Structure 1
Amino acid sequence: MISRKPSCCNVHVYRNGRMHFAHQNRQERRGEQQRDGGLALFVQMMPILILIVVSALSQMMVTQPPYSLRYSPSAGYIQKRHTSNLKVLFYVGDRFNEEYSGKNLRNVEKSVEEDYISNLRNNCWKEKQQKEGLLYRARYFGDSELYQRAQKMETPSCSRLSEIQVILDG
């Protein structure tokens, strides 16, 4: 004789503090589990979906800056300009003159000069580190030729930064 497992079973359910027996079909339980699984998957994926949406929105809101400190034809920065105060060279697009004048132009020039000075500071620090490293090696190895070369090594960013500081202070 072949025994069959019943397709349903009794489930204990508590209602109002009392235990009741409920008859539930396997297919019904599977359907509930699948619905619960889909919801659980959706809840687990929600943070990733939120990150993707926020990232896409932020990319759409980011605009290209109106200038570049370097000539960059691929980005559209092809026209040379100089700031009125420090005479810093920068590049702009074709429509720059139409879009920026008066106070807006002064704000752009101020940003250009701040970026330029920040770059000079970073480059000056690197140049000093490189010079200090050469001096240290020359002393450590007793290499007088390397020491002379390190002493003569120029730091153009530091020199330009000093010139700008004189202009700003004076």
Structure 2
Amino acid sequence: MFFEGGYPASNANAHTNGRMHYQRRERRQRDGGLALFVQVMPILILVIVSALSQIMVNSPPYSLSFRPSAGYTQKRLTENLKVPYYVGEQFSKEFTGVNLKNVERTVEDDYISNLRNNCWKEKQQKEGMLYRARYFGDTDLYQRAQRARTPSCAKLSEITASLHG
């Protein structure tokens, strides 16, 4: 039905004359190549756009984690916050001066954003433990929840203090 261009019910009683039915089938066969192309065109467009977008996207010049498979093997620290990040072998040649400062600012922004997300997750886990402990009256779980650390929150507080004071 999809490639024939209609529903079977629409042609059931439309042409009782064999000649009309024959002419319609002949026209359908003649137009079949164009109709098939028109029906496949959206898929072709999606494939082409996807391929072009993959070609045009550049990989970032840094990674916050060591990733040798992607070429990020050289460890560096940002000048301001001393955030560790990894770059490729050609990084020093490509990024100097203002470009380097922009990259380092982006590294620090990404790092702080990751800390915020991780801090939120840690707080959610701690609050969930406290809630379960209160709900079930489990003093052991309550004590563990009270002792639970939030290292991302601590690091975020440390960075915020160094930026503002």
> Structure 1 stretches (4+) deviating beyond 4 angstroms?
26-29
- Count of residues in correspondence between the two structures: 147
Q: Which residue of 2 aligns with 1:88?
A: 83
Alignment of 1:41-52 (within 5 A): 41-52=36-47
Deviation (angstroms), 1:169: 1.9
Alignment of 1:1-170 (within 5 A): 30=26, 32-170=27-165
> CA separation of 1:28/1:159 partners in 2, compared to 1, >3 Å: closer, same or farther?
closer
- Kindly report the root-mean-square deviation, in angstroms, between the aligned alpha carbons of the 2 structures: 1.8
Between the aligned partners of 1:45 and 1:123, the Cα distance in structure 2 is 45
Between the aligned partners of 1:112 and 1:137, the Cα distance in structure 2 is 37
Deviation (angstroms), 1:117: 0.8
Identify unmatched segments of 5+ residues in structure 2.
1-17
Between the aligned partners of 1:92 and 1:79, the Cα distance in structure 2 is 5
Between the aligned partners of 1:151 and 1:60, the Cα distance in structure 2 is 50
Give the residue type in structure 1 aligned to 2:85.
F
Deviation (angstroms), 1:33: 2.3
Identify unmatched segments of 5+ residues in structure 1.
1-7, 12-25
Give the match's secondary structure for 2:76: strand
Give the match's secondary structure for 1:166: helix
Normalised by the length of structure 2, the TM-score is 0.83
Q: Which residue of 1 aligns with 2:11?
A: none
The structure that has the greater radius of gyration is: 1
Deviation (angstroms), 1:29: 6.7
* More strand as a share of residues: 1
> CA separation of 1:27/1:70 partners in 2, compared to 1, >3 Å: closer, same or farther?
same
- Identical aligned residues as a percent: 69
